[in-house]
Structure 1
């Protein structure tokens, strides 16, 4: 659970959680006297190694931090106060941490690389890491996992140990492992049977191979023209740049009022300085549009001037520092803290005080623990007064020399080229190809008959659906796919609700006649639009409403009509629709059964429909296939209506050759690119 989840009504999705389990600890004993010394020693070693590993890394939002979590019920109540019901089963003692990475997912993978590093350096250390998607390490290597590795079977079974990835699960699923059993398996000599394949390990290594040696490749150095206070704060703590950029990027109307005042960082005295961003932070600052209030005192050069970029970036960053400084507050008493009141009420409802009388010795002890925990985690939250207090303290010390900062600004490194921030569509395709592999070109066989295709679609739509969807096996058996290559869909196991030998006493049997239900629905769907006698000699507007015509229309809508007569009626209306559309721009887009485009144009120019013999009806089969293929092309291989429909029918769309618009496969079947 989140360190600060009890302080937030809703947890955000941009987080990664990590758990570090030490070796040599009795997992069944969670008393303070026995586990505290070992966990404190582990905490000190982890802090030392992580500080060395992360010293050049710029965190986007939160850094890497772990705390001791013994896992007893009291501590779980403190952490999970607002997270719903609390499981009374104690957790194994461990170190726990959570990091919100915001818009830069690279922080998540940097933490993964750090965990691999820690397990190599600390003997017997086992690590587990998850995010809002669960076991995201397996998601990254999903293409290389065994077929039995589903989320339910792998949840809570993925661990990093000795620099390798382990999955404590097998196909038979013959044993249910508790945490102490999993740690025992990892620390045993037979652990090699649980290690994942080299292909899976390589998929993870591909994401973390640049850490920590190539951290600078994601950095961008920029020149800024900022107030002297900002230059002094950045010189003392360069990590403040992340908080300042995010404060400006997420500004609200109240923050804009603060930026108009600029009480802490007035623009009267500015200097040039050099700052290092991550590329993500630089892009966020660069593309945040902002025009300062002239009354504040900002004076920007022309947009075409060489120094304009340094001035506008410095202005935005100074506003971010101003927002942070304005949030600094004096120590707030818990009696007036609304967050503490909500947290206290939640603890009380969860039974944290164990029915102790208020002001009793045990009650006061528990209350003190809860207050200390709340203060610690409140101060560690993002954009809290703690960050602003640090900035204000730098300004109050006033131990920086303005002239020295100005001289340093005259001899700063040149800014990096930021042409990387603008990429062409071709460059984007190359980046995606490098990251995810070449995009497969989708094709259907070129000798597919349009009439057979539409017939196949109609056959599919006629299939009866069961409680869990269309019975695709039965549908596939009846479809004549011709040159399409079907792929047998994977069906999840079904439960035969009609053949339970021992039905539940709470469940009443369902008397459902599917045939009768289908017949009623078909009767509703078989209603036919009454024939419009467009060629009738009677031109009276009210003639269609004569008594005999009304009776005929009612008879036309009868569900007892034969299928042949219904088909003839529909065909008649379709022909009439074709004639009406022929003289519009829509009609020109349809494929007809005969005639050239010029002939179709001449037909479209006809103002009446007396010459029925020269009319060329629309070829519905060809248009259906054409529209399906155009829709599929528009999806560019992604999910969509046409892909879902074709996939449900078992139509497999294969990759096309790179050598031309069409190819011939091993079976002699010609394929045409979509």
Structure 2
């Protein structure tokens, strides 16, 4: 793996094929650390990289003592690739983009201490640092050719520019490292681009603590013990609840007489739980109607006679955390998850008596903290002012989100004011003339636009539809976070219900077609059978009507004319059903099954015993 950013420049066999393009999964950031010093031996290079790892560990202890990662933490592995020692790692940051930028901050800070280090950071979008600096990039630099051209060295951002004779294209990792080593002029710091690319790091390291949120919640004593032992377990517990499926929900309901819950919702105590802001918002925004013991526990927590009183919102959050912990340790898909294994070991120690649950007096000595939740609130009018570029009040909510929004608005306005910019970002980048909405030659072209007659009607309809959309969007944005999440969950449940109903209809349709084919093969659905020729005959058929004993029905076959006048569809269906049953020769079949469902049991066919 050469560490290049995702690319589509695949060459086929015979054209210099060098392997299939490697794409990172969504929400994954990857990073590479190299030592470039020709004076160092191979062993010395390895020692420098190990020193880099140790310094990273020290930096984490300094700044990340209480930090909670959304999914995975930063991790660097010493590897040897293409006869070169380097550090490489990747982190799945889930929904927490703050984790991705924390990794950028840590690596950039370390690069200031190690002057011989060159490193790069990229994700599934490629060189995401350049995305932040899109408005100040040189015109030659595009996503198609930026692979392995963006590096961080001594805390500065470097871009490897192609020479005047070089064809712009993405570089392989070894090509980039060779260019840095042999042609230092190729790699030049880019102060203007650097300022834009690293603007999200301006609040660090203070932003690390600001990404946390503390809340005091009622939790089962077992859950409180687990989270006190390792507060980071809150991340997998919340995410397990957030990604719950029908199997997970079934695990929350023990069978009758089976007390198999690992974390039964009982013996509640109040403790302070540390979240990331993303985790807290995910938990708060989930709509869930608990059932069974979980519903009973929720009702008990918010009962007016309970002391101390618990707000319904806090009680619901505590129930969600406990349910997420239960799903985490019991669902098979999480069996290999590190957190699930460690929590199960803690539970085994409790069961064996090697550990005991904390008492009320011990829990009372644990520190408690309740953070303000105003960062969750967004004033819609202030949001509109920010979009217009005229914000400035304190009613927006989260300051980091406010700054990012302002930056986005600035970039958008700069793009709109750029006279050279167009749909591609710069004028003249190969748009087909037919792709341009330009009717300036309508008088000279000599032919009529076939869609011109409908333009007015279509435009009116589109305007009305867009107005409805704007109205609905404005109403949606004015809702609270919890209300938005509830509407989203309702839409998701409705979609699932409709999908399940469609699947059920398809199954019924398939079964009906199979039954119809089987009945046709026996002639049971032929309501107009061919007329019988020859002499008229009489046949007596006996059958058993359940609960009423035997009855005899006289079936008289006459000539064709008399039969046409006498027989109706009901008789034909009955006769064909009897013929279909006879065709089963005593074995199971559609006719016997259908009559059995209607409570009618056929006797053995007397013709089978006639000799």
User: Which band: TM-score by shorter chain?
Assistant: 0.5 to 0.7
The alpha-carbon deviation at position 213 of structure 1 amounts to: 2.0
**Equivalent of residue 424 in structure 1, options 379, 393, 414:** 379
Report if aligned partners of 1:124, 1:187 keep a CA contact under 8 Å in 2.
Answer: no
Instruction: Give the secondary-structure state (helix, strand or coil) at the position aligned to 1:298.
Output: helix
The equivalent residue for 2:189 is 195
Instruction: Give the secondary-structure state (helix, strand or coil) at the position aligned to 1:160.
Output: strand
Query: Superposition pairs for residues 233-382 of structure 1, below 5 Å?
Result: 233-261=226-254, 263-295=261-293, 298-300=297-299, 301-302=301-302, 306-327=310-331
The equivalent residue for 2:113 is 121
The alpha-carbon deviation at position 480 of structure 1 amounts to: 9.0
Instruction: Give the secondary-structure state (helix, strand or coil) at the position aligned to 2:89.
Output: strand
Report if aligned partners of 2:251, 2:327 keep a CA contact under 8 Å in 1.
Answer: yes
Report if aligned partners of 2:218, 2:314 keep a CA contact under 8 Å in 1.
Answer: yes
Q: Given the alignment of the two structures, is residue 156 of structure 1 paired with residue 148 of structure 2, yes or no?
A: yes
Name the CA distance, whole Å, in 1 between partners of 2:469 and 2:158.
Answer: 38
Query: Superposition pairs for residues 245-644 of structure 1, below 5 Å?
Result: 245-261=238-254, 263-295=261-293, 298-300=297-299, 301-302=301-302, 306-327=310-331, 384-398=336-350, 402=357, 404-405=359-360, 407-409=362-364, 412-429=367-384, 430=386, 431=402, 433-437=405-409, 469-470=432-433, 478=441
The alpha-carbon deviation at position 121 of structure 1 amounts to: 1.7
Query: Superposition pairs for residues 67-216 of structure 1, below 5 Å?
Result: 67-71=77-81, 90=82, 92-170=84-162, 172=164, 174=166, 179-180=173-174, 182-183=176-177, 186=180, 190=184, 194-196=188-190, 198-216=191-209
Rate the CA distance shift 1:45–1:24 in 2: closer, same or farther, 3 A: farther
Report if aligned partners of 1:232, 1:400 keep a CA contact under 8 Å in 2.
Answer: no
The alpha-carbon deviation at position 440 of structure 1 amounts to: 5.4
Instruction: Give the secondary-structure state (helix, strand or coil) at the position aligned to 2:144.
Output: helix
The equivalent residue for 1:17 is 30
Name the CA distance, whole Å, in 2 between partners of 1:253 and 1:226.
Answer: 23
Instruction: Give the secondary-structure state (helix, strand or coil) at the position aligned to 1:99.
Output: strand
Name the CA distance, whole Å, in 1 between partners of 2:118 and 2:265.
Answer: 52
The alpha-carbon deviation at position 632 of structure 1 amounts to: 8.7
The alignment's TM-score, normalised by the length of structure 1, stands at 0.52
The alpha-carbon deviation at position 256 of structure 1 amounts to: 1.3
The equivalent residue for 1:65 is 75
The equivalent residue for 1:580 is none
Instruction: Give the secondary-structure state (helix, strand or coil) at the position aligned to 1:268.
Output: coil
The alpha-carbon deviation at position 165 of structure 1 amounts to: 0.6
The equivalent residue for 1:664 is none
CA RMSD in angstroms comes to: 4.5
Report if aligned partners of 2:298, 2:316 keep a CA contact under 8 Å in 1.
Answer: no
The alpha-carbon deviation at position 226 of structure 1 amounts to: 0.9
Instruction: Give the secondary-structure state (helix, strand or coil) at the position aligned to 2:36.
Output: coil
Deviations 1:331-360 (A, max 9, x none): xxxxxxxxxxxxxxxxxxxxxxxxxxxxxx
Name the CA distance, whole Å, in 1 between partners of 2:467 and 2:250.
Answer: 50
The alpha-carbon deviation at position 37 of structure 1 amounts to: 5.2
Report if aligned partners of 1:53, 1:114 keep a CA contact under 8 Å in 2.
Answer: no
Rate the CA distance shift 1:139–1:92 in 2: closer, same or farther, 3 A: farther
The equivalent residue for 2:224 is 231
Report if aligned partners of 1:56, 1:215 keep a CA contact under 8 Å in 2.
Answer: no
The alpha-carbon deviation at position 385 of structure 1 amounts to: 4.1
Name the CA distance, whole Å, in 2 between partners of 1:477 and 1:91.
Answer: 62
Rate the CA distance shift 1:222–1:234 in 2: closer, same or farther, 3 A: same
Deviations 1:509-551 (A, max 9, x none): xxxxxxxxx99xx99x989xxxxxxxxxxxxxxxxxxxxxxxx
Name the structure, 1 or 2, with higher relative contact order (CA <8 Å, separation 6+): 1
The alignment's TM-score, normalised by the length of structure 2, stands at 0.56
Stretches of structure 2 that go unaligned for 5 or more consecutive residues are: 4-21, 255-259, 387-401, 417-429, 471-611
The alpha-carbon deviation at position 263 of structure 1 amounts to: 2.0
Stretches of structure 1 that go unaligned for 5 or more consecutive residues are: 4-8, 72-89, 330-381, 444-466, 482-517, 528-566, 575-619, 637-674
Rate the CA distance shift 1:162–1:633 in 2: closer, same or farther, 3 A: farther
Instruction: Give the secondary-structure state (helix, strand or coil) at the position aligned to 1:293.
Output: coil
Report if aligned partners of 1:14, 1:101 keep a CA contact under 8 Å in 2.
Answer: yes
The alpha-carbon deviation at position 479 of structure 1 amounts to: 6.9
Instruction: Give the secondary-structure state (helix, strand or coil) at the position aligned to 2:340.
Output: helix
Instruction: Give the secondary-structure state (helix, strand or coil) at the position aligned to 1:226.
Output: strand
The alpha-carbon deviation at position 220 of structure 1 amounts to: 1.2
Name the CA distance, whole Å, in 2 between partners of 1:407 and 1:99.
Answer: 37
Deviations 1:99-135 (A, max 9, x none): 1111111111111111111111223111111111111
Rate the CA distance shift 1:49–1:526 in 2: closer, same or farther, 3 A: closer
Between the two proteins, the alignment pairs up a number of residues equal to: 405
Report if aligned partners of 1:161, 1:186 keep a CA contact under 8 Å in 2.
Answer: no
Name the CA distance, whole Å, in 2 between partners of 1:323 and 1:404.
Answer: 25
The alpha-carbon deviation at position 424 of structure 1 amounts to: 3.1
Name the CA distance, whole Å, in 2 between partners of 1:256 and 1:425.
Answer: 36
The alpha-carbon deviation at position 63 of structure 1 amounts to: 0.7
Rate the CA distance shift 1:327–1:173 in 2: closer, same or farther, 3 A: farther
The equivalent residue for 2:521 is none
Rate the CA distance shift 1:162–1:414 in 2: closer, same or farther, 3 A: closer
**Range that drifts further, 468-477 or 142-151:** 468-477
Rate the CA distance shift 1:37–1:228 in 2: closer, same or farther, 3 A: same
